[in-house]
Amino acid sequence: MAQKRVAAIHDISCFGKCSLTVALPILSAAGIECTVLPTAVLSTHTGGFTGYTFRDLTEDVKPIADHWKSVGIGFDAIYSGYLGSFEQLKLVGDFYDEFRGKDTLVITDPVMADNGKLYASFAKDFPQGMAKLCEKSDIIIPNLTEATLMLGEEYPGDDYDRNYIEKLLKRLSSLCRGKVVLTGVSFEEGKLGSASYDSTTGDYGYAFADKIDGYYHGTGDVYGSALVAAILKGKPLSDAIGIAVDFTVESIARTKAAGTDIRFGVDFEESLPNFMKNVGISAK
Ligand code: PXL
């Protein structure tokens, strides 16, 4: 069978294990080719570090895409994450239009907010721009904050139930092309996970694990990359969210046990063998 190929459009934060430095190894471990379109190079990610370098690569996005087009490169999926400006949103939307083939899955993680707050580096109207990019996406992966910001709704905090989440998932499915994974969902003290909805089948899915206290940077991208890999390996959405939750939580637990600085990213590498087994890769 032909190897699957993903175009991953994120920044490279050289240190701190997020965006492209996690998408590459995780997709590769699943046997998927990960073609990278770096939107910026930073010495570290922006979460908790000061004085980091930042080289914007916005100007390079279109020439790289044009060259790929001239070579005739196609993608089974396009996966975008952290994008830093309206101009980048526009360029990535154009990339989706240009490279969407008959069977290409377009997956957008609208990274921009958490815990009820837009990240400090984004303008107040950024969520509307991100919602436009989601309109072009087959699958979106917001957390509860990003979901409510894009829908222009109030953030519920911890005050919600299953009925609220299922209605929210339906509204989100109208914002995109029909499949939604909502992260950071909890119905029970001490448990945290994800919910999914596929509007083509009407199926909801849930995956929960024991909640680990502390905010570990880059875990959204570890989760998103594992999810994209599991979907491309043919797992139904409701199974893919479980594989991604287990992989992420196992990685966080190991990192917490090691006492690592929470800004440094999680030790997902040790979990790759288990992840590979779960997506159907076996040593021959
Ligand atoms: O997706 C997380 C992420 C990616 N890239 C950069 C970031 C962050 C989170 O803060 O700062 C540059």
Q: In a structure prediction context, what are the per-residue pLDDT tens digits for the chain, which is 284 residues long?
A: 799 999 999 999 999 999 999 999 999 999 999 999 999 999 999 989 999 999 999 999 999 999 999 999 999 999 999 999 999 999 999 999 999 999 999 999 999 999 999 998 899 999 999 999 999 999 999 999 999 999 999 999 999 999 999 999 999 999 999 999 999 999 999 999 999 999 999 999 999 999 999 889 999 999 999 999 999 999 999 999 999 999 999 999 999 999 999 999 999 999 999 999 999 997 66
Q: Packing angle between helix 58-71 and helix 86-99, nearest 10 degrees?
A: 10
Residue 194 Cβ contacting ligand 1 at under 6 Å: no
C-alpha 122 – ligand 1 centre gap (Å): 12
Sign of CA pseudo-dihedral 147, 150, 156, 160: negative
CA 260, chain centre distance (Å) = 23
C-alpha 55 – ligand 1 centre gap (Å): 14
Measure the N-to-C terminal CA separation of the chain; round to a whole number of Å. Answer: 16
Structure tokens at 248: 């992420």
Residue 46 Cβ contacting ligand 1 at under 6 Å: yes
- Predicted TM-score (pTM) of the model is 0.97
How confident is the model at residue 214, as a pLDDT? 86
Residue 82 Cβ contacting ligand 1 at under 6 Å: yes
How confident is the model at residue 284, as a pLDDT? 64
C-alpha 218 – ligand 1 centre gap (Å): 7
Residue 17 Cβ contacting ligand 1 at under 6 Å: no
Residue 39 Cβ contacting ligand 1 at under 6 Å: no
C-alpha 45 – ligand 1 centre gap (Å): 5
C-alpha atoms less than 13 angstroms from C-alpha of 154 in its C-beta half-sphere: 6
Q: How far apart are CA 185 and CA 199, in angstroms?
A: 19
How confident is the model at residue 194, as a pLDDT? 98
